DNA sequence: GTATAATTAGAACGAACGTTCGATAATCCT
DNA sequence: AGGATTATCGAACGTTCGTTCTAATTATAC
C-alpha cells in the first residue's frame, strides 16, 4: 500500500510557510529536469524514459512523485504561471502611474522569461496539449494573467483619452514578448532591461498615436 | 519494382507552368489533409494512421507518395514558405515607398496567415522538429523571408533617418503577427486588412519615435 | 485483350511508448 | 533494536508507433 498513491504529504494547499518536505524538494528537482527535456524535445517528443534519465531516477521511480506524464506538464505550467503572477503583483503594488504599470508588466514578463526561458517556452509552446480538468485549470491561470494586462491597458487608455482595441493591443504585446523564445540570443540581444525598454518604447509610442476606426488608410 | 521509389514523375523543379500530373494533384490533397491533422494534434502527436484516415487512404498507400512522415512535414512547410514569398515579391514589385513596402509586408503576411491558418500554424509551431538536410533547407527559407523584412526595415530606417535595432524591430513584428495563431477569432477580431492596418499603425508609429541607446529611462 | 504501369490494401515487423507490479533498499519513529 | 513507512528499482504489461512486405486491384497503352 505504498507506491500506489503517495497523496503528497507536506504541502497542504501551497501555503506560504515553505513547508518543503523532502518529497517536495525531490519533486521540484524532477520538474526542473523535466522542463529541460520538454524544452529540447517537446512534450510529445519527450518520453518518460528521457525524463527519468535526465532526473537520474528509474522509470518506475518517477511514478512515485506524479501519476502521469500529463500531470507532470501540468505541474510545470501551473508553477510557472503562479510564480510569474506572484512577482508581478508584488511589483505592481508600489506603482500607480498607468504608463509605468504597463512598463512594469513588460519588464516583469521579459525578466522572468529570460531567467526561466525553458519553463516559459514549455508554457508557450505546449499551450493546449493538456485536456479536461488539467487543461481547464491552466487555461484559467492564463486568462487571469491576460486579464491583468488588459486592465492595465484599459486604465492607460482612459487616462490618456485614447481609442484603440485593448484586446488586440494586449495580444500584440504578448506576441511581441513571447515570440522571443524563437530568437533570443543573450550574446547579441541585450538583457531583459534593455529589451523591456525597447519593446516598451515601441509599443507605448505605437498605441499612443492610435485613432479610432476610420482614418486615412490611403490605399487598397 | 513499382511502389518502392516513385521518383515523382511530373514536376521537374517546381516550374511555373503548372504540369499538374495526377500524382501531384493527389499528393497536394494528402498534404492538405495532413496539414489539418498536424494542426489539430501536432506533428509528434499525429500518427501516420491519423493521417491516412484523414486522407481516406490506406496506411501503406501513403508511402507511395512520400517516403516518411518527416518528409511530409517538410513538403508542407516548404510549400507554405515558397507560396507566401512568391506572393510577397509579386506585391512588392509595384511599390517603392519604404513605409508602404513595410505595410505591404504586414498585409501579405497576415492575409496569408488568416487564409491558411492551419498551414501557417504548423509552420510556426513545428518550427524546429525537422533535423538534418530537411531542417536546414526549411531554416534557409525562413532566413530568406526574415532577410527580406530586415531589408525593408533598414531601408525605411535610413529613409527616415531613424536609429533603432532593425533586428529586434523585425523580430518584434514577427512575434506580433505570428502570435495570432493563439488567439485569432474571426468573429470578434477583424479581417486581415483591419488587423494589418492596426498592427501596421502601432508598429510603424512605435519605431518612428525610436531614439538610439541612452535616453530618458527615468526610473529603476 | 493482354502486357505494363499505377495505385491500393491487409497483415506484419521490431522498436518504443506510458504505465504498473512486486520486490527491495533506505529512512524514520520509539 | 525492530517494525512501519517512505523511496526506489528491474522487469514486464499491453498498446501504438513508423515503416515495409506481398499480393491484389485498377487504369493506361499497344
Q: What is the pLDDT of residue B140?
A: 96
Residue with cell 494533384: B25
Nearest nt to the A26 alpha carbon by C1': D7
Nearest nt to the A63 alpha carbon by C1': C19
Q: Do A168 and B198 touch (CB under 8 A)?
A: yes
| B196 → chain A, closest CA residue | A217
In whole angstroms, how far apart are CA B164 and each of A100, A191, B73, B207?
A: 22, 16, 37, 8
Of the listed ranges A143-147, A197-201, B54-58, the least confidently predicted one is B54-58
DSSP B10: S
Q: Do A205 and B205 touch (CB under 8 A)?
A: yes
Q: What is the pLDDT of residue A216?
A: 38
Give the pLDDT mean for B125-131. 92
Give the pLDDT mean for B65-79. 93
- Is residue B141 less than 8 Å (CB to CB) from chain A? no
Cβ(B120)–Cβ(B181) below 8 Å: yes
Cβ(B122)–Cβ(B76) below 8 Å: yes
- Is residue A37 less than 8 Å (CB to CB) from chain B? no
Nearest to A125, CA basis, from B171, B113, B177, B43: B43
What pTM value is reported for the model?
0.86
Cβ(B179)–Cβ(A174) below 8 Å: yes
pLDDT exceeds cutoff 80 at A104: yes
pLDDT tier at B21 (50, 70, 90 boundaries)?
A: confident
Which residues, 6 or more positions from B109, have their beta carbon under 8 angstroms from its beta carbon? B84, B88, B177
What is the residue-wise DSSP string for B149-189? HHHHHHHHHHHHT--S-HHHHHHHHHHHHHGGGGT--TTTS
Whether the beta carbon of A61 falls within 7 A of nucleic chain D: the reply is: yes
Summary count for chain B: helices (H), strands (E): 9, 0
Q: pLDDT per residue over A126-163, tens digit each? A: 999 999 999 999 999 999 999 999 999 999 999 999 98
DSSP B128: T
- Is residue B198 less than 8 Å (CB to CB) from chain A? yes
Of the listed ranges A50-59, A95-104, B3-12, B92-101, the least confidently predicted one is B3-12
The phi-psi region of residue B131 (left if phi > 0; otherwise alpha if psi is between -120 and 50; otherwise beta) is beta
- Is residue A209 less than 8 Å (CB to CB) from chain B? yes
Nearest nt to the A62 alpha carbon by C1': D8
pLDDT exceeds cutoff 70 at A204: yes
The C-alpha atoms of residue B175 and residue B169 are separated, in whole angstroms, by 10
Q: pLDDT per residue over B173-196, tens digit each? A: 999 999 999 999 999 999 999 999
Q: For residue A86, report the phi and psi dihedrals to the nearest 5 degrees.
A: -55, -50
Q: What is the pLDDT of residue A6?
A: 46
Q: How many residues are recorded in chain A?
A: 220
Taking CB atoms within 8 Å and a gap of at least 24, the contacts of A90-96 are: none
Please, which positions of strand C sit below 7 A from a protein CB? 5-12, 16-24, 28
Nearest to B208, CA basis, from B157, B172, B148: B157
Pull the grid cell for residue A13: 494547499
The C-alpha atoms of residue A11 and residue A19 are separated, in whole angstroms, by 6
The phi-psi region of residue B213 (left if phi > 0; otherwise alpha if psi is between -120 and 50; otherwise beta) is left
Cβ(A201)–Cβ(B169) below 8 Å: no
Q: What is the pLDDT of residue B7?
A: 37
Q: What is the pLDDT of residue A213?
A: 43
Give the pLDDT mean for B11-37. 71
More confident residue, B107 or B209: B107
Amino acid at each position: 500500500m505504498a507506491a500506489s498513491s503517495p497523496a503528497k504529504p507536506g504541502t497542504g494547499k501551497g501555503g506560504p510557510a515553505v513547508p518543503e518536505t523532502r518529497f517536495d524538494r525531490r519533486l521540484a528537482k524532477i520538474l526542473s529536469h523535466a522542463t529541460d527535456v520538454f524544452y529540447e524535445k517537446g512534450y510529445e517528443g519527450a518520453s518518460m524514459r528521457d525524463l527519468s534519465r535526465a532526473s537520474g531516477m528509474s522509470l518506475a521511480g518517477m511514478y512515485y512523485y506524479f501519476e502521469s506524464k500529463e500531470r507532470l506538464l501540468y505541474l510545470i505550467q501551473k508553477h510557472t504561471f503562479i510564480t510569474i503572477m506572484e512577482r508581478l503583483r508584488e511589483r505592481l503594488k508600489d506603482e500607480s502611474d498607468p504608463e509605468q504599470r504597463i512598463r512594469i508588466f513588460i519588464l516583469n514578463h521579459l525578466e522572468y522569461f529570460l531567467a526561466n526561458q525553458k519553463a516559459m517556452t514549455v508554457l508557450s509552446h505546449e499551450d493546449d496539449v493538456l485536456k479536461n480538468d488539467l487543461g481547464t485549470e491552466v487555461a484559467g491561470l492564463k486568462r487571469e494573467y491576460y486579464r491583468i494586462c488588459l486592465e492595465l491597458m484599459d486604465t492607460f487608455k482612459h487616462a490618456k483619452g485614447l481609442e484603440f482595441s485593448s484586446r488586440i493591443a494586449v495580444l500584440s504585446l504578448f506576441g511581441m514578448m513571447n515570440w522571443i523564445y524563437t530568437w533570443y540570443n543573450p550574446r547579441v540581444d541585450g538583457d531583459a532591461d534593455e529589451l523591456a525598454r525597447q519593446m516598451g518604447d515601441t509599443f507605448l509610442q505605437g498605441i499612443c498615436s492610435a485613432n479610432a476606426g476610420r482614418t486615412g488608410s490611403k490605399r487598397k
